[in-house]
Chain A
Amino acid sequence: MSGVGDLGVERWTPRAAVFVAAALAVLGGLAFGPALFSAAITERLSALFIYVILAVMWNVLAGYGGLVSVGQQAFFGLGAYVAVRLSAAGISVYPALLLAALVVGGLALPIGEVMLRLSGGEFAIGMWVVAELAHLLVNLDPLVQGETGTSLIALDAFGAAARRADTYWAALAAMAFLLALVFLMLRGRLGTALQAIRDDDVAAASIGVRVLATKRVVFVLAAAGAALAGALWLATAITFQPHAYFSVQWTAYMIFMTLVGGLGTFEGPVLGAVLFFIVETAFGASGVWYLVGLGAAALGFALFAPRGVWGAFAARFSPRLLPLGYHVVLPAGLVPALGKKGEEQA
């Protein structure tokens, strides 16, 4: 019956340190991509990095914040649009991509003020309405010329190879930065507050959590992340046609990647993005049947494996490669002793 002073609380494990070192080494290796890979592979990998951003940011919103949105294409499209606008205003093209994400994050503040008063299905569908509205408003801009669209003309100043490499590095850096940011955020106090809100917002308020303020932070972050992905996509595609960017398919991809990988886990969406990328690379040319297959797979995971690939793996093996939570190191006797309703074992 000693005090609890000798109990340890673990947040980090040697295995996690090895894993992080390995992940950093992979990221470092990827930085040499444009020199090592063919033009086609460099372009495909840029797309993969953007997918990872999309999945991770949607997961922060839905998996940790409990804010399921089917309208994140609003921010994806606005990110690309603002990048076009900033570039047309004379800002050099790669800084414009980053600035576009910040501008859209700012736009998300007033949108969040309205939308965060909704909950559940109302929020989800309301966000879709926001996306449609954003699409219509962008179409009114004479620069965009309606559905004809425009392009990021400033990129023509670069040679094809330089552009490909710069876009690759920008996407890689954006992905690495956002992964680190989200990881640190989820490990911190904001992360536990978010999970509490996701699990039960009434209970979260009852223990002093500032529910609306916390949701606001995650909403703006997810918006800025989706916008950065949209701006980067514009840099890979160059052309901006509103319907291609404000399409609900982007959110469908985000949901697919997150559900398949593991909603509400840090590693899951990254794994989901890689799986999606592989499936798309293998079957993307099959047109409609590819989309049917994606939809069926997402439905199957939602029904039969709601934890996703990573969630199921983690539940079984608890690898704790990137631990976000806390693990109390208990003396061996304590767990079984309490399991028998407090009977003490000599």
Chain B
Amino acid sequence: MTQTGPILAATGLGKRFGALVVLEDVDFTVGIGEAVGIVGPNGAGKTTLLNVLSGRYAPEAGRITFRGADVTALDVAARCRLGIARSHQIPRPFGGMTVFENLLVAAAAGAGARGRMAEQRVLETLALCGLLGLANRRGETLGLLDRKRLELARALATEPALLLLDEIGAGLTDGEARGLVEIIGAIRERGIAIVWIEHIVHVLVQVVGRLVCMDAGRVIADGEPAAVLRNAAVIDAYLGSATHAPAHG
């Protein structure tokens, strides 16, 4: 904990699809081991921000540094090998491979793990995510909750320093989401920084220590969760247009 400075720093990010500006002059930093939540109405640019941070999209403007090194020009796979992992909003399991193999390939490609050591780490990660009993099942046979767990476990198997979560709670019941929150809390305790996009704010605030609100491609609030949720601009942009207000209060 002696190292200072953010693990990830993005400055002046800009991204457009044709005439549509999706990100405009976004500054965003994540501290070492910090958990940050990102909220905002549909179309605010949250998932695009995640895609730019993970390397799936190249930004038209701005610069991203990870552990002090410029990673703006690196692709998804190269950034993953450096320690930035992500989960996908709609899970993308390797359907023809077993759950164990899904993680093993991630441990090998993302973390360079080999042999018995890699197998052991995969088993531990499966246990952490509650997937050990399904280790020999093919990815395509899993239901939604287990696919979400697999998405999380597979990202974790790459041994990231920063984990980007894209609406991992979407589509789950409150009970199911609680189980995921426990796992994500345990991941945070291991010192892994987390950036988590989620619509379900009361789930998010159980884990994150900081909340960022986006609207129309810009950051409109950034700070302690309770303060951000009280912010007038946030209430106007996000809560005012949401179909249901956050139940937490």
Measured between alpha carbons, how far is A208 from B120 in the docked complex, in Å? 19
Binds A, one of B127-135, B195-203, B221-229: B127-135
Measured between alpha carbons, how far is A328 from B127 in the docked complex, in Å? 12
How far is the CB of B144 from the nearest CB of chain A, in Å?
Answer: 13
> Are the C-beta atoms of B77 and A328 separated by less than 8 Å?
no
> Are the C-beta atoms of B76 and A195 separated by less than 8 Å?
no
Q: What number of A-B contacts does a CB cutoff of 8 Å give?
A: 126
Residues facing B in A324-338 (CB within 8 A) are 325-328, 330, 334-335, 337-338
Given contacts A202-B92, A206-B155, A207-B80, 19 further A-B contacts (CB under 8 A): A4-B124, A7-B132, A193-B108, A195-B97, A196-B97, A198-B96, A199-B94, A204-B105, A205-B75, A206-B76, A206-B80, A206-B85, A207-B109, A208-B80, A208-B106, A208-B110, A208-B158, A334-B132, A337-B133
Measured between alpha carbons, how far is A199 from B99 in the docked complex, in Å? 13
- A280 at interface by CB-CB < 8 Å: no
Given contacts A9-B119, A199-B94, A342-B130, contact A206 B88 (CB under 8 A): yes
> Are the C-beta atoms of A4 and B132 separated by less than 8 Å?
yes
Count of A residues near B, CB < 8 Å? 35
Chain B residues whose C-beta falls within 8 Å of the C-beta of A287 in the assembled complex: none
- A5 at interface by CB-CB < 8 Å: yes
- A150 at interface by CB-CB < 8 Å: no
**Which of B85, B111, B132 has the largest number of chain A CB atoms within 10 A?**
B132
> Are the C-beta atoms of A328 and B92 separated by less than 8 Å?
no
> Are the C-beta atoms of B100 and A326 separated by less than 8 Å?
yes
Residues facing B in A36-75 (CB within 8 A) are none
> Are the C-beta atoms of A205 and B76 separated by less than 8 Å?
yes
How far is the CB of B177 from the nearest CB of chain A, in Å?
Answer: 14
Judged by DSSP, the binding face of B is: helix
B133: which of A193, A198, A200, A330 is its contact (CB, 8 Å)? A330
**Which of A7, A189, A327, A328 has the largest number of chain B CB atoms within 10 A?**
A328
> Are the C-beta atoms of A192 and B132 separated by less than 8 Å?
no
Chain A residues whose C-beta falls within 8 Å of the C-beta of B92 in the assembled complex: 200, 202-203, 206
Residue of A nearest to B99 (CB): A328
Contact with B along A306-327 (1 / 0, CB 8 A): 0000000000000000000111
Chain B residues close to A by CB (< 8 Å): 54, 56, 75-78, 80-81, 85-86, 88, 92-98, 100-102, 104-106, 108-111, 119-120, 123-124, 126-127, 130, 132-136, 139, 154-155, 157-158
> Are the C-beta atoms of A196 and B105 separated by less than 8 Å?
yes
How far is the CB of B121 from the nearest CB of chain A, in Å?
Answer: 10
Chain A residues close to B by CB (< 8 Å): 3-5, 7, 9, 189, 192-193, 195-196, 198-200, 202-211, 264, 325-328, 330, 334-335, 337-339, 342
Measured between alpha carbons, how far is A264 from B139 in the docked complex, in Å? 15
B130: which of A3, A326, A330, A338 is its contact (CB, 8 Å)? A338
How far is the CB of A192 from the nearest CB of chain B, in Å?
Answer: 4
